[in-house]
Amino acid sequence: MEEKKNTIRELPASERPYEKCMALGPAALSDAELLAVILRTGTRGQGALQTARHVLSLNPSVDGLLGLHHLNVRELQSIPGIGKVKAIQLSCIGELAKRMSRKSIDREKAFVSPGAVAAYFMEEMRHKEKEELRVVLLDTKSRFLHDLVISVGTVNSSLVSPREIFLEALKYQAVSIILLHNHPSGDPDPSKEDILVTRRVYEAGRLLGITLADHIIIGDNCFISLKERGIL
């Protein structure tokens, strides 16, 4: 079997990432080649392309580009050829991807259905390694007013404070709210605690005249709406 080339200079000109991008466009590049363009250099005996392959295989549970969302600066710096500056650049790439995904969605239309809400928050929440409960505040026409994180960690009915949620809702004069949280396991099926939290917040909102419109659980590129499930 032919030995894999370690450095970009050893590759034929047509296979070098820069030249390939110029000739065919960035869509023609593999994930490793795209990262190699960003990294620019590697180390002695290991070029940018080999370093990029190392980055993509570093996370044992999430392989490939999605693994970047789960690697911090310190972990990236453990790779030969990745110093502090490159590690920060790679972390910023992951953050840029999340923000670009959200910007591509028209916020005025983002809250008309559970699917639209889930799509708006999917890239931001699906990669988180801890559960995060977020509340979205809406006006009389279900338009976005504000969103904020209420708690980080296991969504537990004894820890989630309806008081904090509705103080924020009153502050922004919200008429309705949507709860969202993620399941790091990737499986969005609601737990008993998820259902208890939903009912507790719903009852508190009913007394204040602020509707809990939905509770959406984000999984790995999938979601469940508790309203669609008939729990609300």
List pLDDT tens digits, range 112-163: 889 989 988 998 898 888 899 999 999 998 888 999 999 888 766 556 789 9
User: How far apart are the C-alpha atoms of 105 and 191, rounded to whole Å?
Assistant: 29
SS (H, E, C) 123-154: HHHCCCCCCEEEEEEECCCCCEEEEEEEEECC
Work out the angle between the directed axes of helices 114-125 and 84-103 (0-180°, nearest 10): 180
pLDDT of residue 123: 83
Residue 178 pairs with which residues in a beta bridge? Answer: 136, 214
| 2 band by pLDDT with thresholds 50, 70 and 90 | very low
Nearest to 74 by CA among 88, 61, 64, 62: 88
Q: Which residue has the higher pLDDT, 38 or 103?
A: 38
Could you read off the pLDDT of 83-126 as tens digits, one per residue?
Answer: 888 888 888 887 887 777 666 565 666 678 899 899 889 988 98
CB 142 within 8 A of CB 176: yes
| Coil/strand/helix, residue 150 | strand
User: How far apart are the C-alpha atoms of 144 and 154, rounded to whole Å?
Assistant: 26
DSSP code per residue over 181-212: EE-TTS--PPPHHHHHHHHHHHHHHHHHT-EE
Q: Which residues contact 168 (CB under 8 A, 6 or more apart)?
A: 135, 137, 146, 148, 174
Q: In the predicted model, is pLDDT for residue 60 greater than 90?
A: no
User: How far apart are the C-alpha atoms of 117 and 40, rounded to whole Å?
Assistant: 38
Q: DSSP assignment, residue 81?
A: T
Q: Which residue has the higher pLDDT, 159 or 5?
A: 159
| Coil/strand/helix, residue 216 | strand
